[in-house]
Structure 1
Amino acid sequence: MNMSMKKTRTLAKPDFEQLSEFRYQMRRFERFSEQAAQGEGITPLQYLLLLHIKGYPGRAWATVGELAERLQSHHHGVVALVTRCETLGLVRREPSPDDRRQVQVHLEASGEQVLERLAALHRAELKSLEGAFRVPRIEL
């Protein structure tokens, strides 16, 4: 059956309440994250870049393309973000030994320190929101 022809259930008031609460809690956490990053003297996007480098699965670095995917951003925008973080001494670029067209982005010691402090704050905030991030179960 064509998905566009599939009839969907009408949402009830509790469905909207659940979606609203979920989005509210997401926004509260996002606002907390913005303020925490600014308190460390970096932008929220710079924090996310550091987090995605350190948190990239299986290794301690990431390529610009991988970071663009994680940040859901354009390649050229991530290049500019990496440049700003490099200027601040938070990250460094290294050419890939396997493919010279690729650039690996690594954390510098100062980037590690900022990330450690912010990650600890974020973990504590997430613990305080435990249960708030239940994914709404809406039947279609």
Structure 2
Amino acid sequence: MIQQALLHPMARTRTISQAQYENLASFRFALRQFLRFSEQAAQAAGVTPQQHQALLAIKGFPGRSRLTVGELAERLQVAHHSTVGLVDRLVLEKLVKRDASKEDRRQVFVSLTKRGEKLLESLSSVHHEELRRVGPEIQALLERIGGVK
């Protein structure tokens, strides 16, 4: 997908102004600051950033309180076998539990434990506060980049 966009004829002929470069750089910097905040918050809570992302992906999955390992891999954009290892570590920490599907025993669902819910709630609270702080700046940068509201 990205390679196709880079190879598209219009991508090679479009001129980018200095102001556009500055806006893109500022936007990327603001995103990186937020991601660094998130990484530090996860580590302070005793989990890795990827474990935090997994907990959030499980809790925030549309319409369900559990998802398959394959769905989690897709949400995290990592390989299935990497997700299995991540889930193994989360189970050891008692943050998630596995349940085999009653319909298809090959399918395994992952859901949060009470401990996982509590940890995620704490992390999500500090993330909401940080987003309230940096959100207006990020929104302004998005609007300068391309009129995204």
AA paired with 1:115?
A: L
AA paired with 1:4?
A: H
1:98 aligns with 2:107: no
Which residue of 1 is the match for residue 136 of structure 2? 131
2:34 corresponds to which of 25, 29, 36: 29
Which residue of 2 is the match for residue 77 of structure 1? 82
AA paired with 1:40?
A: A
Cα deviation 1:43-94 (Å, max 9, x = unaligned): 0000000000000000101111111111110000000000000000000000
Cα deviation 1:103-140 (Å, max 9, x = unaligned): 100100100000000000001100101222233219xx
Cα distance, 1:100 vs structure 2: 1.4
1:5 aligns with 2:9: yes
CA distance in 2, matches of 1:102, 1:76: 14
The unaligned stretches of length 5 or more in structure 2 are 1-6
CA distance in 1, matches of 2:50, 2:8: 36
1:68 aligns with 2:77: no
CA distance in 2, matches of 1:84, 1:59: 22
What RMSD in Å do the two structures reach over aligned CA positions?
A: 1.5
- TM-score, normalised on structure 1? 0.92
1:18 aligns with 2:23: yes
- TM-score, normalised on structure 2? 0.86
1:59 corresponds to which of 58, 61, 64: 64
Equivalent positions of 1:33-44 (< 5 A) are 33-44=38-49
CA distance in 1, matches of 2:25, 2:68: 36
Equivalent positions of 1:105-120 (< 5 A) are 105-120=110-125
Q: Deviation above 2 Å: which 4+ runs of structure 1? A: 3-8, 131-136
The unaligned stretches of length 5 or more in structure 1 are none
AA paired with 2:9?
A: M
AA paired with 1:107?
A: L
CA distance in 2, matches of 1:19, 1:5: 21
Aligned length in residues: 136
Which residue of 1 is the match for residue 51 of structure 2? 46
Specify which structure has the higher proportion of helix: 2
Structure number with greater CO (CA < 8 Å, separation at least 6) is 1
CA distance in 2, matches of 1:88, 1:13: 49
